[in-house]
């Protein structure tokens, strides 16, 4: 397998600053080796922050992106946030062993909505412990929570040691808004960062989220965004993660 990837973008080019904040996402059923290799090449060509790929492909992506500054990221308990804590811990440990740089994690929103904040807190703490030095991003699914529940989710995620707060897992939960990002940024201490995701299909939308306080945006539409294409989400079959 080839380990080389194109790195043809001039970092001073107009698209560079936006691309550097994009975690280019390919999370879908039916993804094959050719899809993964093409995804890696796109990350190198456009200078994306990270390649977000399914767990089973992390080792291949690490090899293909070796020698670049592009991070390799994956997700656990996506999209439902309904796995057992033990299952998530085992998957996180496997990803760490495979060399993953960052992991986006589903959280037990259903337990929080049911009033079981202790379960929610313990679940996040166990995942953070399993990840060790690998940063975790908590997909908080804000559109599914009442205002008071949002406050609890953010507070407990920060207390557990989560590195990034995310407004949602994907556009299937809700389209990311500047208001959600400002909310997370206002509550997060300086050492906790913010990632936006959900229906990010245009460069203007991405820039508005960054201006609101997001450090990163996750999307399957990265190429369209940085090439000033239409960015129509219907152009791809992958969720806007």
Which residues form the catalytic set? Answer: 104, 166, 195
What's the per-residue H, E or C state across 58-96? HHHHHHHCCCCCCEEEEEECCCCCCCCHHHHHHHHHHHH
Beta-carbon contacts of 115 under 8 Å, excluding residues fewer than 6 positions away, are none
Q: Are strands 164-166 and 22-25 parallel, antiparallel or unpaired?
A: unpaired
Annotate 85-109 with b (16+ C-beta within 10 A) or e (fewer): beebbebbebbbebebbbbbbbbbb
């Amino acid at each position: 397998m080839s380990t080389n990837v194109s790195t043809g973008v001039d970092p001073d080019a107009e698209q560079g600053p936006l691309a550097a904040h994009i975690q280019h996402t390919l999370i879908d059923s039916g993804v094959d080796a050719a899809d993964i290799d093409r995804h890696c090449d796109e990350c190198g060509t456009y200078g994306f922050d990270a390649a977000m790929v399914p767990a089973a492909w992390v080792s291949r992506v690490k090899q293909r992106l070796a020698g670049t500054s592009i991070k390799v990221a994956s997700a656990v308990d996506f999209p439902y946030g309904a796995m057992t804590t033990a299952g998530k811990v085992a998957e996180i440990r496997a990803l760490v062993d495979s060399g993953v740089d960052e992991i986006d994690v589903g959280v037990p929103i259903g337990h929080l909505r049911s009033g079981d904040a202790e379960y929610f807190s313990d679940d996040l703490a166990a995942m953070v412990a399993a990840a060790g030095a690998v940063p975790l991003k908590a997909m908080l699914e804000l559109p599914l929570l009442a205002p008071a529940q949002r406050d609890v989710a953010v507070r407990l995620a920060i207390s557990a040691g989560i590195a990034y707060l995310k407004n949602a897992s994907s556009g299937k939960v809700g389209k990311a808004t500047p208001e959600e990002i400002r909310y997370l940024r206002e509550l997060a201490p300086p050492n906790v960062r913010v990632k936006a995701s959900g229906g990010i299909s245009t460069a203007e939308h991405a820039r508005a989220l960054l201006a609101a306080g997001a450090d990163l945006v996750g999307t399957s539409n990265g190429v369209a965004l940085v090439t000033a294409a239409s960015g129509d989400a219907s152009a791809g079959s992958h969720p806007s993660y």
